A and B are shown apart, each in its own frame.
Chain A
Amino acid sequence: MNITEILNQAEKPVLLQFFAEWCGPCKMLTRIIDESVEEVTQHVELKRIDVDQEPALSAQFQIRAVPTMVLVNKAGEVLWKHTGIMEIRDLITQISK
């Protein structure tokens, strides 16, 4: 998977959610997002990326801790990056700017 492919298929900005299978906080963040997934996907396309499966993509976005979310626009620019869990309201505020 590379970022160009992801962006080509997307119609909205893409929220890359980097996670690892072995990471507790990642599971928690996934749960938080899943509970409001419809609202999230109104603003962005959600793409979940397992750092262990996608080392190249993770390196490209300099992921040194998980969970990390990166918001990328259609032009490939990084609009926002966040490491750690966050509240759904704060996330929606960020992605709806």
Chain B
Amino acid sequence: MVSRREFIQKSTLASSTILVANSLESFVVIDSVDEDELFDVIIIGGSYAGLSAALTLGRSMCKVLILDSNEPCNRMTPHSHNFLTQDGVAPGQISAKAKEQVLKYETVLYYSTQVEKVDKTANQTFLVHSVEQKKYKAKFVLFATGLKDMLLPIKGYADCWGKSVIHCTYCHGYEQINRTTAILANGDLAFHLLMLASPLTTKLSILTNGQANFTLEQQNIINRKGIKIIETPITELKHKQGQVSEVVFRDNSNLQVEVIYSRPAVIQKSNIPSQLGCELTEQGLLKVDNQQESTIPRVYACGDMTSFRSVATAIATGSAAGRAINAQLCQLDFKS
């Protein structure tokens, strides 16, 4: 029998040729899990947070199944920044390396599929259903399904998202230093983004895309700094391959810009945790304790869906969740 380790090694050999850029794209794993197999943990979502948890769990010989639909939220962005050792690296490259390292652990399996439903069963296990109608059983479930950005319905916005329409100054602000910058937001959020963008450029304006909604104090500060507020609704972002050049307004006026900061609303990418009964916070994040356990026992969550959005935080909370679940598994083992 060819072990998973051999798979990885062999495919890595193949990847050293000019043909294949990345080892994990050189073959596809066939789902051969027996329906009766009981996993210690099923991780739903195998991006940064899920893989980080799998690394910790795999190193403790936990039987882990990762089910991932491979749609990380940062897939549109060409480079990821502000994560030590991987600054400026393409997101796909970080996750390919992560998968390569994590799947070396013999007890960790990874399948590309989408999870449709999770049921609690009478005997303290969870039944995870995939869209292919396969069922997998586990003692613990860890959600790492991330968030979904509700992109604004403005022509050109989606094309520029992650490239020149940016949600976070920490991730991509440094690359935009001194550029002509617009803050596309209103109220407290606009003021917050304005503060964060101020060290990076003086060429700033605020686009509220409708009536401005600032406190008197905020308004005074904005005026004092000489920053223009444009309230006219936006009809289009003109761009070339995602690089924005011009904002067009409803009255046909326009504004030349090089970068736009915009943080659209987010929702949980998966509503399965809510269906299971997990509570959300007021901000719409999944409520977890300091061990990353949700309000339902043995259901954990990590990454964007619970915490500040960054690759570093996703990896940190994933690692913490892995540790906490393993600790619980060890305790269960010692009791019986």
Contact = CB atoms under 8 A, between A and B. Distances in A.
A87 B1 contact: no
Interface of B is mostly: mixed
Contacts of B334: none
A25 B28 contact: yes
B27 A25 contact: yes
B2 A84 contact: no
B99 to A, nearest CB: 13
Interface string A11-48: 00000000010011110100010000000000000000
| Shortest 8 CB-CB contacts between residues of A and residues of B | A84-B11, A84-B26, A84-B27, A84-B14, A85-B26, A65-B29, A23-B28, A87-B17
B1 A83 contact: no
A5 interface: no
Contact of B2 (A20, A25, A81, A87): A81
Contact of B30 (A63, A82, A85): A63
Q: For this complex, into which size category does the number of interface residues on chain A fall?
A: 20 to 34
Interface size class of B (residues with CB under 8 A): 20 to 34
Given A20-B28, A84-B27, 11 more contacts: A20-B30, A24-B28, A25-B27, A28-B19, A64-B4, A65-B28, A83-B6, A84-B14, A84-B20, A87-B14, A87-B19
A83 B11 contact: yes
Nearest to A23: B28
A77 interface: no
Given A81-B2, A83-B7, A84-B11, A68 B27 contact: yes
A85 B25 CA distance: 9
Contacts of B23: 84
A66 interface: yes
A67 B27 contact: yes
A86 interface: yes
Interface string A60-97: 00111111100000000000011111110010000000
Contacts of B28: 20, 23-26, 65-66
Contacts of B11: 83-84
B85 interface: no
B33 to A, nearest CB: 10
Which residue, B18, B25, B26, has most C-beta atoms of chain A within 10 A?
A: B26
Interface in B260-295: none
B8 to A, nearest CB: 9
A51 interface: yes
A68 to B, nearest CB: 7
B17 A64 contact: no
B25 A25 contact: yes
A91 to B, nearest CB: 10
B108 to A, nearest CB: 14
Contact of B19 (A66, A67, A85): A85
A66 B32 CA distance: 12
A48 B11 CA distance: 20
A28 B28 CA distance: 12
A71 to B, nearest CB: 13
